[in-house]
Structures are given as structure tokens and as C-alpha cells.
Amino acid sequence: MTILHWQAAATGLPRALTPRVEPTPLPAPERLAWSTDAASLLGLDAADAQLSTTLAGNAVPVGALPTATAYGGHQFGQWAGRLGDGRAITLGALRSADGEAWQVQLKGAGPTPFSRGADGRAVLRSSIREYLASEAMHGLGIPTTRALTIVGSPLLLRRETMESAAVVTRLSPSFIRFGHFEWLAHLDNASALRALADHVIAAHYPAFVGDYAGWLGEVIRRTARLMAQWQSVGFCHGVMNTDNFSILGLTLDYGPFGFIDGFDANHICNHSDGSGRYAYAQQPQVGQWNCAQLLNACLPLLDVSSEAAVEKGTAVLAAYGSAYAAESIRLWRAKLGLITAEDDDPTLINRWLTLLHRTHADFTLSFRRLANVRSDRDTLDAGRDHCADPLGYDAWIGDYRARLCAESSNETARAAAMNAVNPLYVLRNHLAQQVIEAAQAGRAEGIDTLRRVLAQPFTEQPGAEHYAAEPPPELRHIEVSCSS
């Protein structure tokens, strides 16, 4: 058994905003899933019985200091006041072999002072979705918190219906959110705001010590690049509130998320989002809006003069647009296998996306099939058979082939490069739902079977064909809500 050296998780927040919270023991805990990839970060042993007890929330290890944190935030564009870790308890921190500290957080381990009357628990359904999404996004190369394990229990919780409880263990270098800074600004606590910024910079942005504007610019660029990455794989977050945005530029809090199947640029993955604020096409703008709220909170760090601080903050925010544009065009070019840059590339890309939108073609597979296109105009293209507008497809594919010929594209090298960035497997809603229903019926082994497929999303895996297929018609409209 590996001896684990637990430490209190450093947050940089005032002690009053990080109260100690004991996890509530989970009745009859049973481990249902274990990510070997995430465990390898910290050298954790699946056979460690003491660790299993800890990750159920049934024991606090020596050296750990379980806490929850207070934060605020804008939810659906409106200031929501004090929020906080309502069902997340950070046990402590463990160090990886290279010395990096990873915070270990239990989601669903009971109430905290910030539960706002709720039970602090999570249900198996949402725990499975978060576990799979965290590891799937990591497999795609998209910055994210990680998920280590799911522990289930026969304990029943009332949501829309009665559902069984579970605890999912999340890992991250930090769980600090935009909302932490917003809450300190709301409290008008400039000294605590500065102390939090200093902590985050020293721990995670050491190149910007003493340079708040430079640090905020880097946070904004990371966030912009993250939004571009989401768009490139058809990922919809669903609840892009400022309290769900990581100060490290990680994908955080997997609630009513979804990967688009039949492409719709206006797709809304959260049926609670009646206005479509967080629709797919809106995500880049919302990311920028959230960054503006972070800057508003951090104005006291930029200058003692309010006017000068606003001027500097506006200049910093300008980094978002350029960072998003650069990352976005880089990703779309890579997905089309383009190795040179031409002025009309955005037009070619947007015409392709418009065709997918108009025909509701499968987003993931449409890009994947492009790797098989050859520049020879007489070569048949199987992708045409999957398009509801063959003539529109022919018109675009002709211009695409001409673009490939213009840069003397090597067919074999291009196909390999495209398959390395266009996934074959993503966490489609119907796949998650099938695993959830099986686990609820006592068959949890499918959780990690799917996780292992998603860990290698770009590599064709024998026997995994059904994980790559489009959902059958009856499973194309699964709705996801905030309830968990």
C-alpha cells in the first residue's frame, strides 16, 4: 500500500470563507468506477482499502483538512449573490511524483455551510456524467478538472424522482473560480482580493508575480482558447455561469453538458436554459462576458484610480478576441487538414459549418470522414452519402479539393493529421444514458468500459464501433437539466 502524505489544500482565501467541513458518511459505499489514468497522476492504488473509505467520505485521513469555500457569481447573466461549495468538500492535497500539488475534492459528500438548504449530496446519474466527461475531455486534449472515482450507495435522494446517491472524486491543481474574486469584490475586501490573486499567481502563474495586468491577460487568453477548443469538438457546457469558470482556464463543473450529434449552431443542451443564453453559438461571447466580470472584480488590482483601472481593464479584455480568433482558426484549419494559411480559409470553414447546420449532419463523424477525401476530383467520396444535400456537398467539396491541391497536400500525411484532431468517439448523451441506466440496475462495469474508449478518442478501436455510431432516432433528443 502506498503511504499518502495528505496536506491541507491551500486556497489563498480568508479563513472565514473556507470553513472546515466534515464529510457525511455514505451508507454501504461501493466503488463503481476508477480512472486508472487519473490515479496515475498521484500514484494511487485501487486496492487501498483505506483510500476507498476516504473517497466515500467515511474517513478523514491524517494531514487532510476538509473545507468548503464561499464564492459568488453571475448566473444566466444576473448577479446571484453568495453561492459556494454547496455539495463539494475539498479533502486536502496530494503531490504527484513531479511535486505538483493536486487538490482532492469529494462532490456529493454531504451538506456544507453553502448548501442553501439542500442535502449536499449528488445522485449517481450526474456523478457518472461528470466522471465520464472529465476523463473524455482530457482524452481530447482539452484542459479540464479530472475525475478519479465514483462511489455509489443505496441511499435514496429526492430529485425529480427518487435516485440513488453517489460521490465522485475530482482532482485539480486548484478549484478557484471567477466567482471567488467576484465575491471578495462584492464584500469590498480589497486586501483579501489581492491576497487571493497573489496566491493564484505564485502557485500557478509564477511568470506574472507582481504583474496583475499580465496575469489577468493570461487568464483571459486561456479562457478564450478553451472556448475555441469547446467549439471545435461540438461541446456545449450548458451552465456557463461565472462561478463555473476556472481561474486556471480548465473546464469545470459538468452539469447539463452535451456533445452535439446532428449539428445545430443554436443547439441548447440545458433544457432549463429557456432563453438560449448558453447555446453552442453563444459560448465564445459568454466566455468573453465572463472575463469582463472577472476584470470588473479585479479593478482594484490594476490601479488606485477607478478611471485608470477601467482603462487598463478594457485593454486587458481586448486580449480575448485576438486569442480566440487565433486559436479558433488554428483548430478549424487543423480539422480540415490545411497546412498553409489563406485569406479565404474562414469562408471555406464557415461554408462547411453552414452545410452541416442546414442538413443537421453529424458533427463528429462529418469531420472524421473528411480525412478520406482525396484531391482527385474523380474519386468517389463516401461522405456524400451521409449528407442530406448532396449537391451542396459537391459544391463545397469541389472547392475543398481545390484548396488541398493548391497546397500540394500529401494525402497520407493529411489523413493521419486529421484523424489525430478529429475524434471518432465523444461522450454522446445516449451513450452516457445507457451506462447510467445499466449502473442504476446494478451493472456498473460499463462506466469504465466507456471511459477507456473515450480515453483514446482519435484511435479506431476494434469492437467499439457502436460507440462511434450516430444515436438511433429514439435517442436523439435526450434532455439534460441542472438537477443532480
Residue 187 pLDDT more than 90?
yes
The DSSP code sequence of 398-412 is: HHHHHHHHHTT--HH
Write down the pLDDT at residue 68: 98
216: helix, coil or strand?
helix
Pick the more confident residue, 380 or 150.
150
Strand 101-107 to 88-95 pairing: antiparallel
Name the residue among 439, 472, 363 with its Cα closest to residue 132: 439
CA 170/CA 26 separation, integer angstroms: 17
24-28's contacts with Cβ under 8 Å and 24+ in sequence apart are 24/57, 24/109, 24/110, 24/111, 24/120, 25/56, 25/57, 25/58, 26/56, 26/57, 26/58, 26/109, 26/151, 26/153, 26/155, 26/165, 26/167, 27/153, 27/154, 27/155, 28/153, 28/154, 28/155
Using pLDDT thresholds of 50, 70 and 90, give the confidence band for residue 484: low
Instruction: Write the pLDDT tens digit of every residue in 10-66.
Output: 999 999 999 999 999 999 999 999 999 999 999 999 999 999 999 999 999 999 999
Is 243 one of the annotated active-site residues of the chain? yes
pLDDT surpassing 80 at residue 390: yes
| pLDDT of res. 3 | 81
pLDDT of residue 481: 67
In tens, the pLDDT along 117-148 reads: 889 999 999 999 999 999 999 999 999 999 99
Kindly report, residue by residue over 200-241, the tens digit of the pLDDT: 999 999 999 999 999 999 999 999 999 999 999 999 999 999
Distance CA 308, CA 305 (A): 5
pLDDT score recorded for residue 457: 98
Letter for the amino acid at 321? G
Considering the chain, what percentage of its residues have pLDDT values greater than 90? 91
At residue 345, does pLDDT exceed 80?
A: yes
Q: Does 1 score more than 60 pLDDT?
A: no
**How confident is the model at residue 332, as a pLDDT?**
98
Name the DSSP class of 278: T
With cut-offs at 50, 70 and 90, classify the pLDDT of residue 393. very high
| Catalytic member of 37, 188, 243, 264 | 243
What share of the chain has pLDDT > 70, as a percent? 98
Which amino acid, residue 32? L
Query: Given the DSSP bridges, would you call strands 74-75 and 235-236 parallel, antiparallel or unpaired?
Result: unpaired
Gap between the Cα atoms of 217 and 174, Å rounded: 19
The pLDDT of residue 321 is above 60: yes
Backbone angles phi, psi at 246, to 5 degrees: -80, 140
Give the model confidence (pLDDT) of 428-468 as tens digits: 999 999 999 999 999 999 999 999 999 999 999 999 999 99
Backbone phi, psi, residue 71, to 5°: -155, 170
Look at residue 201 in the predicted model and tell me its pLDDT: 98
Query: Residue 163: which H helix or E strand, with range?
Result: strand 162-172
pLDDT, position 384: 87
φ/ψ region of 426 (left if φ > 0, alpha if ψ in -120 to 50, else beta) reads beta
The sign of the torsion formed by the CA atoms of 168, 169, 172, 174 equals positive
Mean of the per-residue pLDDT values of the chain: 95
pLDDT tens for 159-169 read 989 999 999 99
Model pLDDT, residue 83: 97
Beta bridge partners of 103: 93, 172
* Weakest-pLDDT range from 283-292, 378-387, 467-476: 378-387
